[in-house]
């Protein structure tokens, strides 16, 4: 977490031109890079300079992509229990790392607009900007994998048809979410929405907060 906090401010968010599309392009690059080898334990090779917002977005999406494939693997019917437990612990660690990055991104967004004169009646969005951009990463993964399902040579015609329909829904959600994210950033920049960082306060990974873990240490 310390290394994540080295970025104090970011010009990425003050450039309001299509933030969602710029972020989505980082996600799609990451997903394509991962699938060159498709190995969950492969070391990340982040193409963006360390200390940049783009670096954080790429890193976050890499975590999402690895977790996606581990979630598939852990559902194998005859998986060895010990192996499944190791995967579960890895997923928990990845989820915590993802949360840490999203909260840093939200802090950067808040810092980017800390000089904005916020309207007295400005409302807080139900979802912070970085968590909305996090949803965009998951949506990019869904679109990538659903597109793959539409091209499966071993699948039935009915399966392909269903997946094409689902892909249309996902594509529509991508368009809608992208517009909503851009509008949210414009509203924050104009003081129409009040920026708030939502802290997840995850407890299951914390030795002092998970009763199963701290009771086992007694």
For 84-94, what is each residue's pLDDT tens digit?
A: 999 999 999 99
Long-range residue pairs from 34-39, CB within 8 A, at least 24 positions apart, any chain: 34/62, 34/65, 34/66, 35/144, 38/69
What confidence score (pLDDT) does residue 199 get? 85
| Full-model pTM | 0.92
Tokens of 129: 């900007």
- In this model, does residue 182 exceed pLDDT 90? yes
Give CA–CA dist 182/120, Å, rounded.
22
pLDDT of residue 3: 47
pLDDT value of residue 43:
93
- Across 41-66, average pLDDT: 96
Predicted pLDDT at 151: 96
pLDDT band at 49 (very low <50, low <70, confident <90, very high): very high
Q: 39-48, 84-93, 127-136, 193-202: lowest mean pLDDT where?
A: 193-202
Instruction: Return d(Cα 208, Cα 217) in angstroms, integer.
Output: 10
**CB 197, CB 103: distance < 8 Å:** yes
Answer yes or no: is pLDDT of 208 > 70: yes
Q: What is the pLDDT of residue 54?
A: 96
Cα–Cα distance for residue pair 193/180, rounded to 1 Å: 13
Give mean pLDDT, residues 190-203: 88
H/E run at residue 124 = strand 123-124
Instruction: Identify which of 13, 115, 164, 130 has the alpha carbon closest to the alpha carbon of residue 60.
Output: 130
Average pLDDT over residues 152-181: 97
Q: How much is the mean pLDDT over the chain?
A: 93
pLDDT at residue number 5: 53
pLDDT score for 214 = 76
Average pLDDT for 127-133: 96
Query: What pLDDT, on a 0 to 100 scale, did the predictor assign at position 7?
Result: 64
Measured distance CA(123)–CA(117) in Å, rounded: 13
Rounded to whole angstroms, the Cα distance separating 102 from 193 reads 19
What pLDDT does 1 receive?
44
Mean pLDDT for the stretch of residues 154-168? 97
Q: Which residue has the tokens 């972020």?
A: 23
* Choice between 12 and 7, residue whose per-residue pLDDT is larger: 12
């Amino acid at each position: 977490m310390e290394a994540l906090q080295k970025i104090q401010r970011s010009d990425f968010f003050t450039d309001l031109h299509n933030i969602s599309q710029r972020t989505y392009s980082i996600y799609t690059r990451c997903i394509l890079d991962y699938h060159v080898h498709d190995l969950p334990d492969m070391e990340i090779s982040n193409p963006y300079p360390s200390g940049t917002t783009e670096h954080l977005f790429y890193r976050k999406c890499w975590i999402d992509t690895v977790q996606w494939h581990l979630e598939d693997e852990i559902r194998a019917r005859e998986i060895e229990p010990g192996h499944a437990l190791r995967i579960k612990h890895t997923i928990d660690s990845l989820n915590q790392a993802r949360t840490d990055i999203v909260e840093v991104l939200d802090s950067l967004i808040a810092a980017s607009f800390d000089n904005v004169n916020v309207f007295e009646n400005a409302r807080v969005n139900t979802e912070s900007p970085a968590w909305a951009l996090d949803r965009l990463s998951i949506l990019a993964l869904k679109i990538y994998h659903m597109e793959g399902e539409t091209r499966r040579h071993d699948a039935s015609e009915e399966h392909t048809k269903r997946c094409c329909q689902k892909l249309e829904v996902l594509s529509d959600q991508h368009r809608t979410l992208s517009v909503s994210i851009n509008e949210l950033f414009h509203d924050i920049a104009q003081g129409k929405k009040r920026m708030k960082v939502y802290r997840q306060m995850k407890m299951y990974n914390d030795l002092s907060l998970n009763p199963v873990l701290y009771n086992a240490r007694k």
